[in-house]
């Protein structure tokens, strides 16, 4: 049954805030004694993190009149051009990056790229871009900054050698696009045949090389059915837009597999028997929903159903308001992905329940992973990390070649060090050793690659290899571009290397998809202000979070010292030491990371003036 737009609120009560419930009681064998269908609070959130407030971007209208306005402003172009090592298909609106992978660009980002290509070598002002891409709509500079960031990532232009920023004026495409040589029929056929052989070889090779002790994980398969328009055919395009966005996003999510649009859309108007559709499509879950638009308000109800039992797994309602419906569609689609996918999503939560329901003697590799991950994600301290680690170690004894379990054990060690819970040297070292071993394994699944490269970005940062850390962060985002939690946390790696603008771009992408994390975003914004020398702005942000962790408290003290407010800084340090008496300048030095050593030296000097003990 499809829920109406007013039904989901009763089915799904508001998500409690972080810390509003104690962790579940566990029986002697570690099995939760209560129902595990509760909101997941994240992997023991470290309050170093925060973000720049989201400013909604606006999506280009997809109607033909808007397209005619756009094309009228630019000269005719070759259909396919090369920019550096990237390939741009202007007709299909596709970009293939230097690594041969297709990059995802939102329609407005591609419109910006199209205009820059048309005016190669010439400055295109911000006003010109905004008038061409968002005609009749008032948008902030942040909308344009986000588009430029997406374009640079798609083109592999990390050095900004292709798209040049002209400060306070606009942007210029520097490299001249080269028309692509047409592919002949014979070449195309040969390439297709060769690709088929490669796929067959990879599939057979993966099957043959699976070790005897490896238990292949079951990646859940999701079919997304067309979202119904409650206003009928007049606004059916909104339902189609959300459905297509969600399918595209899920297709680039390592935790799930998604049924192709052409297959799932065949069931759009048919009577819906969940179990029959699931069996026909080979899907574990069906996602369906409805869309209703009233004036400038858009309401979307989405629900996830288990195709084996036919039962509802999750449902939620999303209400947004704004002048541009496509901007609302983008934002709501991202919120749906955040709710469903990733290590704290509803699909993983359903897998937690399944893993805990199995007999202990029949657990596979993925079951050990899920049981430990559930405790890790819901934990509140070192004891929970130790309990999760014990489960993963038990699994590793049974599956000694498991890169999946090694990676999660590495995360446990990293978390213990990151929170200053235990021996920092030992835990940082073990995290690095285990994740290196995991990455050395062959045939890593997308889920393991995402998790391992994500952690390795932090490991490289901790080892002082800041550029390598940033590259690992980019590699992770390429594997999971819609995981808001990954984006938010990896901004620490960017900030450590002084990549403040890139960090702000990632935070802007993450924030609208991760509700309930306001404190982390505020504190990350405060940190960026402080490191940029905007101390008054940093203090204004810190004041919004009354009881932060020790690290942001001491960061606030540094800002006060820089402003000459020494007595206030000393009071802040006394409060931090009352919470964690053994925290010293040495602790700060060991757990803080900056590619510029002068930054850390300045922080230590300020903390010494504020009264933090040396050792």
Reported as a single tens digit per residue, the pLDDT across 543-563 is 999 888 899 999 999 999 999
Which of 397-406, 464-473, 516-525 has the weakest average pLDDT? 516-525
Measured distance CA(576)–CA(583) in Å, rounded:
8
Whole-number average pLDDT of the chain: 77
CATH class, 64-77+79-179 region: mainly alpha
Residue 542 has pLDDT above 50, yes or no: yes
DSSP state of 512: G
pLDDT value for 5: 40
Which of 65-69, 227-231, 344-348, 588-592 has the weakest average pLDDT? 65-69
CATH class, 517-615 region: mainly alpha
- The SS3 of residue 303 is strand
**CATH 1.10.10.10 segments of the chain:** 64-77+79-179
pLDDT value for 420: 81
Residue 19 has pLDDT above 50, yes or no: no
Measured distance CA(593)–CA(369) in Å, rounded:
30
Reported as a single tens digit per residue, the pLDDT across 74-88 is 333 446 778 888 888
With bands split at pLDDT 50, 70 and 90, how would you rate the model's confidence at 612?
A: very high
With bands split at pLDDT 50, 70 and 90, how would you rate the model's confidence at 130?
A: confident
Give this prediction's pTM.
0.63
- Tell me the CATH number of domain 8-16+25-39+217-341, given options 3.40.50.720, 2.130.10.10, 3.40.50.10610, 3.40.50.150: 3.40.50.10610
**CATH 3.40.50.10610 segments of the chain:** 8-16+25-39+217-341
The closest of 309, 298, 328 to 230, measured between CA atoms, is: 298
Between 74 and 361, the more confident residue is 361
pLDDT value for 272: 66
Report the percent of the chain where pLDDT is more than 90: 32
Class of residue 49 by CB neighbours under 10 A (exposed 0-12, middle 13-18, buried 19+): buried
Which residues, other chains included, contact 333 with Cβ-Cβ below 8 Å and sequence gap of 6+?
A: 242, 245, 246, 249
Backbone angles phi, psi at 442, to 5 degrees: -90, 160
**CATH 1.25.40.10 segments of the chain:** 517-615
Q: With contact defined as beta carbons under 8 Å apart, do 88 and 82 qualify?
A: yes
Measured distance CA(615)–CA(613) in Å, rounded:
6
Q: What is the end-to-end Cα distance of the chain in Å, rounded?
A: 63
Tokens at residue 41, please? 């609070």
- The SS3 of residue 391 is helix
Which whole number is the average pLDDT over 166-192?
57
Which whole number is the average pLDDT over 353-376?
90
């Amino acid at each position: 049954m499809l829920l109406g737009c007013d039904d989901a609120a009763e089915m799904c009560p508001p998500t409690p805030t972080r810390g509003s419930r104690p962790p579940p009681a566990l029986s002697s064998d570690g099995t939760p004694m209560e129902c595990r269908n509760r909101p997941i609070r994240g992997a023991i959130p470290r309050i170093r993190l925060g973000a720049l407030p989201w400013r909604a971007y606006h999506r280009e209208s997809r109607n033909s009149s808007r397209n005619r306005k756009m094309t009228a402003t630019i000269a005719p172009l070759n259909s396919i051009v090369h920019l550096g090592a990237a390939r741009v298909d202007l007709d299909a609106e596709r970009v293939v990056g230097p690594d041969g992978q297709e990059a995802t660009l939102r329609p407005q980002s591609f419109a910006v790229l199209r205009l820059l290509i048309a005016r190669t070598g010439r400055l295109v002002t911000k006003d010109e871009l905004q008038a061409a891409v968002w005609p009749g709509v008032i948008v902030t500079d942040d909308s344009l900054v986000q588009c430029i960031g997406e374009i640079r990532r798609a083109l592999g232009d990390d050095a900004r050698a292709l798209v040049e920023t002209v400060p306070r004026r606009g942007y210029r495409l520097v490299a001249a696009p080269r028309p692509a040589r047409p592919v002949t029929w014979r070449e195309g056929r040969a390439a297709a045949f060769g690709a088929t052989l490669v796929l067959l070889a990879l599939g057979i090779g993966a099957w043959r090389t699976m070790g005897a002790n490896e238990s292949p994980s079951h990646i859940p398969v999701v079919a997304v059915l067309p979202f119904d328009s409650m206003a009928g055919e007049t606004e059916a395009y909104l339902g189609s837009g959300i459905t297509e966005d969600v399918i595209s996003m899920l297709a680039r999510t390592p935790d799930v597999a998604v049924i192709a649009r052409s297959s799932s859309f065949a069931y759009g108007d048919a009577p819906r028997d969940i179990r029959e559709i699931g069996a026909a499509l080979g899907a574990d879950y069906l996602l369906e929903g409805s869309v209703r638009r009233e004036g400038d308000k858009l309401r979307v109800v989405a629900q996830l159903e288990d195709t084996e039992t036919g039962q509802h797994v999750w449902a939620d309602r999303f209400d947004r308001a704004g002048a541009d419906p496509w901007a609302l569609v983008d934002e709501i689609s991202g919120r749906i992905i955040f709710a469903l996918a990733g290590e704290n999503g509803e699909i993983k939560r359903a897998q937690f329940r399944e893993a805990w329901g199995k007999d202990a003697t029949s657990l596979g590799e993925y079951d050990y992973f899920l049981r430990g991950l559930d405790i890790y994600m819901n934990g509140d301290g070192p004891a929970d990390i130790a309990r999760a680690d014990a489960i993963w170690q038990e699994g590793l004894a049974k599956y000694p070649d498991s890169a999946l379990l090694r990676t999660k054990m590495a995360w446990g060690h990293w978390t213990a060090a990151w929170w200053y819970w235990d021996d920092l040297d030992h835990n940082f070292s073990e995290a690095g050793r285990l994740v290196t071993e995991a990455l050395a394994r062959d045939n890593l699944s997308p889920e393991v690659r995402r998790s391992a490269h994500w952690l390795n970005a932090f490991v490289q940062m901790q080892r002082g290899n800041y550029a390598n850390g940033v590259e690992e962060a980019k590699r992770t985002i390429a594997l999971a571009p819609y995981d808001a939690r990954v984006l938010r946390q990896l901004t620490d790696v960017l900030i450590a290397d002084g990549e403040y603008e890139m960090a702000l771009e990632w935070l802007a992408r993450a924030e609208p998809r991760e509700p309930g994390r306001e404190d982390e975003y505020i504190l990350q914004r405060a940190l960026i202000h402080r490191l940029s020398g905007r101390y008054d702005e940093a203090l204004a942000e810190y004041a919004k979070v009354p009881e932060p962790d020790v690290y942001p408290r001491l960061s606030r003290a540094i800002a006060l010292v820089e402003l000459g407010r020494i007595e206030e800084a000393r009071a802040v340090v006394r409060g931090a030491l009352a919470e964690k008496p053994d925290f010293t300048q040495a602790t700060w030095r060991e757990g803080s990371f900056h590619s510029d050593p002068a930054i850390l030296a300045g922080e230590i000097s300020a903390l010494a003036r504020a009264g933090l003990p040396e050792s």
